[in-house]
Chain A
Amino acid sequence: MQKAIGVERVVKRYGSFEALKGVSLSITDNEFFTLLGPSGCGKTTLLRSIAGFEDITEGEITLYGSNIAALPPEKRPVNTVFQQYALFPHMSVRDNVEFGLRMRGLPLAERQARAAEMLEMVHLSHFADRLPAQLSGGQQQRVALARALAPRPRVLLLDEPLSALDLKLRQAMRVELKQLQETTAITFVFVTHDQEEALAMSDRIAVMSAGDVQQVGDPRTIYEAPVNRFVADFIGETNVLPATVGAISNGCAEVALAGGRSLTTEAPEGLLPGAHHVSIRPERLSLCEGGEADLTARVERVIYLGTDLQLLARLPDGTGLTMRLQNSARTTLPEQGEEIRLDIEEGAVRLLVD
Chain B
Amino acid sequence: MAGGAATDSTSSGTSWRRLVLPLLLPSWLVVGIFLLMPVALMAIYSFLAKDFRGGVIWQFSIEAYDQFFLDRGLFGDEPPRPNWAYIAIFWRSIWQAGLATLLCLAIGFPTAWFIATRNPRHRALWIFLITVPYWVNLLIRTVSMRFLLRDQGPFNEALMGIGLIDSPLRIINTDLAVQIGLFYSYLPFMVLPIYAAVERYNFALSEAARDLYAGPWTVLREVVLPSVRPGIVAGCILVFIPSLGAFLAPDLLGGARTYMIGSLIDEQFRGSAGNWPFGSAVAMVLLTMVLAVLLWQARARKAR
Interface centre among B204, B208, B212 (most CB of A within 10 A): B212
Interface status of B290 (Cβ within 8 A of chain A)? no
Interface status of B227 (Cβ within 8 A of chain A)? yes
Cα–Cα, bound, A345→B147 (Å): 93
Interface status of A99 (Cβ within 8 A of chain B)? yes
Interface status of B214 (Cβ within 8 A of chain A)? yes
- The contact of B213 among A87, A89, A90, A104, by CB within 8 Å, is A104
Interface status of A84 (Cβ within 8 A of chain B)? yes
Residues of B within 8 A of A147 (CB): 212
- The contact of A100 among B202, B207, B213, B215, by CB within 8 Å, is B213
Interface status of B131 (Cβ within 8 A of chain A)? no
Q: Chain B 216-239 against A: per-residue CB contact (8 Å), 1 yes, 0 no?
A: 001000110011000000000000
Residues of A within 8 A of B226 (CB): 90
The reply to whether A103 and B207 contact each other, CB–CB distance below 8 Å, is: no
Would you list which residues of chain B between 94 and 134 have a CB under 8 Å from chain A? none
Residues of A within 8 A of B210 (CB): 52-53, 72-74
The chain A residue with its CB closest to the CB of B215 is A74
A73 touching B211 in the complex, CB below 8 Å, given contacts A89-B227, A103-B218: yes
Would you list which residues of chain B between 176 and 212 have a CB under 8 Å from chain A? 202, 204-205, 207-212
Residues of A within 8 A of B208 (CB): 80, 82, 86-88
Interface status of A226 (Cβ within 8 A of chain B)? no
Q: Chain A 71-102 against B: per-residue CB contact (8 Å), 1 yes, 0 no?
A: 01110001110101011111000000001100
B108 to chain A, nearest CB (A): 22
A210 to chain B, nearest CB (A): 25
Interface status of A151 (Cβ within 8 A of chain B)? yes
- The contact of A86 among B204, B213, B214, by CB within 8 Å, is B204
The chain A residue with its CB closest to the CB of B212 is A100
The reply to whether A103 and B204 contact each other, CB–CB distance below 8 Å, is: no
A279 to chain B, nearest CB (A): 39
Cα–Cα, bound, A79→B209 (Å): 10
The reply to whether B207 and A73 contact each other, CB–CB distance below 8 Å, is: yes
Residues of B within 8 A of A46 (CB): none
Total residues of chain B contacting the partner, CB 8 A: 17
Residues of A within 8 A of B209 (CB): 88, 99, 103
Residues of B within 8 A of A86 (CB): 202, 204-205, 207-208
Cα–Cα, bound, A224→B140 (Å): 79
Interface status of A213 (Cβ within 8 A of chain B)? no
Cα–Cα, bound, A73→B210 (Å): 6
Interface status of A51 (Cβ within 8 A of chain B)? yes
Residues of A within 8 A of B204 (CB): 82, 84, 86
The chain B residue with its CB closest to the CB of A72 is B210
The reply to whether A90 and B212 contact each other, CB–CB distance below 8 Å, is: no
Residues of A within 8 A of B222 (CB): 88, 99
The chain A residue with its CB closest to the CB of B229 is A90
The reply to whether B223 and A51 contact each other, CB–CB distance below 8 Å, is: no
Residues of B within 8 A of A72 (CB): 210
A151 to chain B, nearest CB (A): 7
- The contact of A51 among B205, B211, B215, by CB within 8 Å, is B211
Would you list which residues of chain A between 122 and 169 have a CB under 8 Å from chain B? 147-148, 151
A291 to chain B, nearest CB (A): 60
The reply to whether A103 and B212 contact each other, CB–CB distance below 8 Å, is: yes
The reply to whether A80 and B211 contact each other, CB–CB distance below 8 Å, is: yes
Cα–Cα, bound, A99→B213 (Å): 9
The reply to whether A103 and B213 contact each other, CB–CB distance below 8 Å, is: yes
The reply to whether B214 and A74 contact each other, CB–CB distance below 8 Å, is: yes
- The contact of A88 among B211, B215, B218, B223, by CB within 8 Å, is B223
Residues of B within 8 A of A51 (CB): 207, 211
The reply to whether B212 and A99 contact each other, CB–CB distance below 8 Å, is: yes
Residues of B within 8 A of A89 (CB): 205, 227
Residues of B within 8 A of A90 (CB): 226-227
A270 to chain B, nearest CB (A): 42
Task: Jot down 30 A-B pairs with beta carbons below 8 A, ordered by A.
Answer: A53-B211, A72-B210, A73-B207, A74-B210, A74-B211, A74-B213, A74-B215, A79-B211, A80-B207, A82-B204, A82-B208, A84-B202, A86-B202, A86-B205, A87-B208, A88-B222, A89-B205, A89-B227, A90-B226, A90-B227, A99-B212, A99-B214, A100-B213, A103-B209, A103-B212, A103-B213, A104-B213, A147-B212, A148-B211, A151-B213
Identify 6 new A-B residue pairs, CB closer than 8 A, beyond the known A74-B210, A88-B205, A103-B218: A73-B207, A84-B204, A88-B208, A103-B209, A103-B214, A151-B212
Q: Which residues of B contact A (CB under 8 A)?
A: 202, 204-205, 207-215, 218, 222-223, 226-227
Sort A-B residue pairs by CB-CB distance and give the 7 closest, nearest first. A100-B212, A103-B213, A86-B208, A86-B204, A73-B210, A90-B226, A80-B211
